[in-house]
Amino acid sequence: MHSKKSLIKSLTQSISYLFLLSALLTSSVYALDVDASYGERRGEVIYQIGGKLTLDPGVSGNVRFPLSELRFQLNTPIMNLQFNQAFKNDWLILISATKNVTSNSGEMQDSDWGLNYYLINPRAFPRDSLDIYSESRLSLNAMDLQIELRKKIEVADISLWRIFIGAGILFQRYQFEAFDTIQHYPSTPEIPAVVLKGKNLTYRYRASMPFASANVTRNMTPKTAVAIAALYSPWLKVTDYDDHILRNKTSTGKSNGWGVKLSVSLSYAMWHSTNVYLTATYLKTLANGTQTQSASSDEKISSADIGLRNINKQRNMAVGFSHVF
């Protein structure tokens, strides 16, 4: 499990990088808006394997999809620090970092279907039977970094609205550690559950998502405003790494797909340059690709390629304040 000391160090480094980027990329002539928020993240990172299976060059076939599915929960408090720097009147650069505050993010759920069908007896076991199911405690170290350039669009007769279009990139770096596993065998209940103490799995998820965006803000009253932001990407790239420690098996995957992120914020001007706000965010990404598995036993190494799907679903709610310098 990651210590609080390492989490604080990581967050401090991220804040330092953001200040440096803001200083390098912007000018002090224009207003700098600094936002800080605290909230809750609920969601999960999922990876599924199945479909086309290649054991050796020229030896391939198709298996159930998903044959196996792992779900890593993302249920943690989060902190966000964001810089919005205006320049040349109609342009805005945004740099935002989000970090989990505590390492406990819930549990990992690991499900395997059809193993008895493929490996033991297809006549005795159905292809869609859930043969192995396990739950593990989970530790998470996560960072989201978003960099975006926005351009204000001038539209006549809508002075209460501010409209921006933009482009940017979102990076996600998550590392999970699963430990203290309880494993069940639903299709063969005569086999007792197994308890596996200690760390048994490490999973790393890395996503890079260039995107296009649209952002609209409307002043509801002199002191309140509502902002809606949406971004979409068909250029998502995901790499992941799974180390099944107790089985001496590692898996690496590469996939491509799409992502969408939506957010709604309600702000209230407390003083001339300071606002408080409430924001809700939804994110979903989906990518398909191939996973390469390598297993070692008795000094022999075997490998296989299998179809892969990566899914990331999140809902965030946070409260914060912003100040214009």
Query: Digits of tens for pLDDT over the chain (325 positions)?
Result: 444 555 455 555 555 555 555 554 444 457 789 999 999 999 999 999 999 999 877 788 999 999 999 999 999 999 999 999 988 778 999 999 999 999 999 999 999 999 999 999 999 999 999 999 999 999 999 999 999 999 999 776 666 788 999 999 999 999 999 999 999 999 999 999 999 999 999 999 999 999 999 999 998 998 999 999 999 999 999 999 999 998 889 999 999 999 999 999 999 998 888 999 999 999 999 999 999 999 876 555 578 999 999 999 999 999 999 998 8
Q: How far apart are CA 1 and CA 13, in angstroms?
A: 20
Answering whether pTM is above 0.85, one says yes
Let me know the angle formed at the C-alpha of 251 by 75 and 119, rounded to the nearest 5 degrees.
105
Full set of structural domains in the chain with CATH: 4-324 (2.40.128.90)
Residue type, 189: P
pLDDT at 28: 47
* Neighbour-count burial for 217-253, b at 16+ CB within 10 Å, e otherwise: beeeeeeebebebebebeebbbbbebbbeeeebbbbb
Give the β-pairing of 274-297 and 300-324. Answer: antiparallel
Phi-psi region of 40 (alpha: psi -120 to 50; beta: other; left: phi over 0): beta
pLDDT at 278: 97
CA distances from 61 to 49, 55, 68, 131, 304 (A): 14, 9, 16, 21, 12
Structure tokens at 65: 């999809």
Residue type, 31: A
Is there a contact between 196 and 245 (Cβ–Cβ < 8 Å)?
Answer: no
